[in-house]
Amino acid sequence: MSGATAGDGAVLRALADKIRDVPNFPKEGILFKDITTLLQDAGAFRQAVDLMAATYRGKAVELVVGVESRGFIFGGALAYLLHAGFIPVRKEGKLPGQKISEAYALEYGSAVLEIHKDAIKPGQSVVIVDDLLATGGTARTTASLVQQLGGKVVGISFLIELKFLKGADHLSEYNVVSHLKL
């Protein structure tokens, strides 16, 4: 990452500039933060992943849990860099094995998340990863699933946080790190 750190304002501004705003998606009144414009830029993608990984380097992280779907992009890369396993948390009906599930409210509807019952062993240290923190419902539900399986949530990592939605307030019992606070 060329020596850039989480405190490097120029790097953060450059990454934020790579994110496209899409009004009224997926429904009227929502301003969607489209990260595909960041992902297609190899340097920006690498900087974002390195920035997110820096928080957990040298810490005992056994598993990275990525939340469908954009959490898979960052979660897989973080798991690789941290020498950890990767666990997908998926929307209802997408996992083939025995699973546990939990319903939750989104800022624009509701959903159900699932994880395989055998994905996490009791006591394993887990970092949860998603691209964006909005209201905190998805992350809170994912943390609940991890804890139901006996996992220890050592952190929840986001590239972007929409501060005005106050999602971090709903995750106060966890170590939450978000890099771009918009």
Residue numbers annotated as active site: 70, 107
Q: Give the 3-state secondary structure of residue 102.
A: strand
Q: Which helix (H) or strand (E) holds 159?
A: strand 152-161
In this structure, the strands spanning 109-116 and 99-106 are antiparallel
Supply 142's token pair: 């994912």
> Taking Cα atoms as reference points, which of 67, 75, 142 lies closest to residue 102?
142
Cis status, amide bond into 26, omega within 30 of 0: yes
Amino acid letter, residue 152: K
